[in-house]
Structure 1
């Protein structure tokens, strides 16, 4: 309500000016100016009615203001006016609060990681006890044992520890650029209102930085053990969901590093790509990364309009660069771009049908009898973790394997014809990507470890292990890997949000009938394994189903109750839903993600980063987390697993890292043999 006209001290408002203008009466000595013909013509019935309604509402508003301000009046009209005034203020405040909650609510995918993590498993507590008592959120229910932790590792060159103040300054810049680093969760565990990030009133970057000095003589094993304990730490939801540790006094086996920075963040902040990008933007690589994102965004915008430089789309079109300003060339580029786009969408449609059939069939046949790399056990998920990283291999070795095994099978007539024409690997025919090569080596390592690992000491688990082994002779037993897929829009200023979906890749078992892997001498066998896995990975890459799943979850952000785990969170459906979620999150052996880093070394906090790594989150109970890391012309693999003490799987992360190095040498040796014959 606006103030009354009797309030002379109140500042004039638009309503008061209108009221004065409408209620003013010309003085006797100042007769009104006669209306002009144009003004008479403008007095239409519509304007007259509008003028009358406005005058009446203004008079009513003035009268209500007078009744509200006259607190001594006890008439029914004064009481009614005061009640209306108070009710209007309450409605106004309620609408404002509702609007703010809706506007600031997290997206559905951001919120999913909270819904999958109840308080008893390290998730956030309900926003208030009143919410819990009102049934808006009980903190329990159809959740899972998901581990929503993304971890980054920076190894610094040199013997001197990295400066605490320099790290503090870098992390402060990171928090300034990405506000979620200085925000806490609010409004959690409600059915019809999404959780939100609000600025932490006690924000202090020093609350998120810790310094740890390892015991004298510490090496790679001690460092990896500390990293595992860092990943396994419970989350403190009273502060922003990230933290960093400066670790010193150790000797790295692969470099001269003796100090490192560990950073971890909760998956509700962002996905792995957003987490890595937000950190790299604070390094010396930041300006270059931002420039690449801007160039990519501009190239996509120009390509959609036919104005892109032809050589930017394909180097074979470089001769057309000098004619790119001609209309005919721009029309041709426009037609080519949208033709490729429509063809791609058609292939995505057909790929979706294949994706649904292959993934659905394998899920039904394997989800309930998955052979994990960690020993199965009863009860809740263990809290301890294992972590290990493989040696670093030059990317030139990957290119050797790609060159040797892409194209026709070595020794075939097509391969001999290609060599005579000097066309080996110059066509996309059966081309192997970096992911094809690395996923194949990882699948070999997982299959071999699962085959050699003994069953749990529990008698019931021994029977279960035997049944699963016996089923391999009847049903397919592929290596199942959940592959995250980024659908993040190309932005010059990336935001802290989850833009990842994913699908399960079912790679054919590489084991022979006797349980052994193909050796370096079996070049044709290795070729077949690589290309079978390449075909299996194409099922994941091509199809709309992962994107459709992403957007269906995204729509639950405003009303978390629509998320299946919340919609059916009541008896008797709660245990059924809990079982279904656990089955989905444990229907594969590992989460495998590729984390591409800078092509050259970078500097952070004024120090050169000699090695860089990352560890993705684990999914359900017994699953692994595998990260493929490329940085400074080298590639490495990280392994994270549950530590099940006094069971055969204890130490599995270290064994997998060592086995990866051994298996890598097999493929590299075979590739060098093929290339040696060509030379």
Structure 2
């Protein structure tokens, strides 16, 4: 390939990476049968031919010269494959192995991705760990294309489960339907016009208020060094990884529908419901350990510069929201608070990020003098949430009609593990796969927070079940009308 320089965002990920905080996006695939090695090598050859960055390394970079993508001499894709057999056939052993490999830096003389083939699982199943550096571009999109290319049929965008779809842009009109029907059509039009203006003012207000707090935190960092999950000393390079059992996406939609008062479209999105459940999982862990000090979680939510629906576009920006974990807060109040934060995140301007990316493209050393500031800002959030949406078709009965494949075999389970932001922060990967939703959590392996990842993931399905019971009681529906899926 012709030598091309790294983009500004690629440069950004290379500059802020540390040995104890790697900028790596990982994914775990589990198969019920062994894979054909010939098919596997053919797939990796296709990957490197289609995406030349996956056959290149960044080289010849300096303070004033942007690094170039250069193909290493004598390298072949099979050189980035590692094989390992678990000593014990348990999920805990698999999670421990994956945590160890995610924490290990890449060898920079080879392209910055790895594929780990793991055998020895229960039932003679096999697992693959896909690990790629974020400087390779839109790693999530490439992963999606890699899996789709191996499937028997190409999927289309209309099959995508709308997990991250935006909620209704307007605050719901607080007038019951039977009363609204009594309004003359002219009065309905006037009322809706006034309500549109008030909703717009409300959206601007919460966005300005949210962004003002962001700026204040970045300038003065009040209490950011004393948040929960933070600890003194150097950040540990040892990590812990765990993932949860799955819950059905259909159940999330049902809960969302009833918590929104039966409105269509709902005033909240499926992501709002998941943030609510994750917040309760984190609060439960901190309360059980008797170490909670914060009343709000600062969770970083990546936003797409083009559109939240367009998964091919590069995720270039994001910000954190304040999500309440106060005691004695009702489910409805907590959901309303999450909705307002998500609206503010979606409305926040992104011009600063665009300027920063251009600076890093043409002035690659721009961030070098400000590394300590970048580190302090990264330490502000408690964690980051990144979602992966499988485009698999699922029929009304929940049967997968077009499963994802890799190396000639169908993937039975898939997990996504994003990179950490700062010291002690949580990296939460949200996977929507074959109509089921699960989370994976990457955290520092620190004695002050034992089994942090495992505890959050163990709580995830039970907290959602508790939420379903609350909703079913409110909606006068039996709990049996909802279900869950445990893998």
* TM-score interval, normalised by the smaller of the two chains: 0.7 to 0.9
CA contact (8 A) 1:591 1:618 kept: yes
Cα deviation digits, residues 516-563 of structure 1 (max 9, x gap): xx6xxxxxx21221121111221111121xx21321122124433562
CA contact (8 A) 1:107 1:556 kept: no
What is the distance in 2 between the residues matched to 1:594 and 1:493?
11
Q: Alignment partner for residue 630 of structure 1, among 421, 432, 435?
A: 432
Question: Does 2:38 align with 1:233?
Answer: no
Question: Does 2:353 align with 1:482?
Answer: no
What is the distance in 2 between the residues matched to 1:491 and 1:174?
25
**Deviation (angstroms), 1:602:** 1.2
**Deviation (angstroms), 1:438:** 0.1
Give the match for residue 425 of structure 1. 263
Cα deviation digits, residues 623-672 of structure 1 (max 9, x gap): 1100111010100011001112xx23121111111122221111011122
More helix per residue: 1
Give the match for residue 543 of structure 1. 348
SS at match of 1:592: strand
More strand per residue: 2
CA contact (8 A) 2:96 2:241 kept: yes
Change (3 A) 1:611 1:292: closer
What is the distance in 2 between the residues matched to 1:641 and 1:622?
7
**Deviation (angstroms), 1:280:** 2.9
**Deviation (angstroms), 1:390:** 0.6
**Deviation (angstroms), 1:247:** 0.8
Change (3 A) 1:208 1:289: farther
What is the distance in 1 between the residues matched to 2:139 and 2:380?
21
Give the match for residue 504 of structure 1. 320
Question: Does 2:258 align with 1:404?
Answer: yes
**Deviation (angstroms), 1:599:** 3.2
Cα deviation digits, residues 136-162 of structure 1 (max 9, x gap): xxxxxxxxx6420100111113xx322
Report matched runs for 1:615-654 at 5 Å: 615-644=417-446, 647-654=447-454
Give the match for residue 248 of structure 2. 394
CA contact (8 A) 1:481 1:591 kept: yes
CA contact (8 A) 1:155 1:612 kept: yes
Question: Does 2:335 align with 1:530?
Answer: yes
Change (3 A) 1:346 1:236: farther
Give the match for residue 658 of structure 1. 458
Cα deviation digits, residues 271-325 of structure 1 (max 9, x gap): 45334334334331772248989xxxxxxxxxxxxxxxxxxxxxxxxxxxxxxxx
Change (3 A) 1:282 1:207: same
Q: Which blocks of at least 5 consecutive residues in structure 1 are unaligned?
A: 1-99, 123-144, 294-343, 408-423, 456-467, 513-517, 519-524, 570-576
**Deviation (angstroms), 1:371:** 2.4
Give the match for residue 603 of structure 1. 405
TM-score, normalised via structure 2 length: 0.80
Q: Alignment partner for residue 54 of structure 2, among 181, 184, 198?
A: 181
Report matched runs for 1:327-342 at 5 Å: none
Q: Alignment partner for residue 196 of structure 1, among 40, 45, 68?
A: 68
Moved more, 239-248 or 502-511: 502-511
CA contact (8 A) 1:347 1:542 kept: no
What is the distance in 1 between the residues matched to 2:381 and 2:309?
32
Q: Which blocks of at least 5 consecutive residues in structure 2 are unaligned?
A: 161-198, 394-402, 482-487
**Deviation (angstroms), 1:204:** 0.3
Change (3 A) 1:274 1:196: farther
What is the distance in 2 between the residues matched to 1:289 and 1:279?
15
What is the distance in 2 between the residues matched to 1:183 and 1:291?
34
CA contact (8 A) 1:243 1:265 kept: yes
TM-score, normalised via structure 1 length: 0.59
CA contact (8 A) 1:351 1:542 kept: no
Change (3 A) 1:384 1:246: same
- Which gives a bigger RCO, structure 1 or 2 (Cα 8 Å, sep 6+)? 2
Cα deviation digits, residues 379-428 of structure 1 (max 9, x gap): 3x212110000101111210121122013xxxxxxxxxxxxxxxx32355
SS at match of 1:442: helix
What is the distance in 1 between the residues matched to 2:289 and 2:334?
22
Report matched runs for 1:101-180 at 5 Å: 104-117=4-17, 121-122=18-19, 146-157=21-32, 160-180=33-53
Q: Alignment partner for residue 223 of structure 1, among 94, 104, 128?
A: 94
Give the match for residue 125 of structure 2. 258
Query: Which has more radius of gyration?
Result: 1
Change (3 A) 1:494 1:246: same
CA contact (8 A) 2:239 2:444 kept: yes
SS at match of 2:150: coil
CA contact (8 A) 1:248 1:260 kept: yes
Give the match for residue 7 of structure 1. none
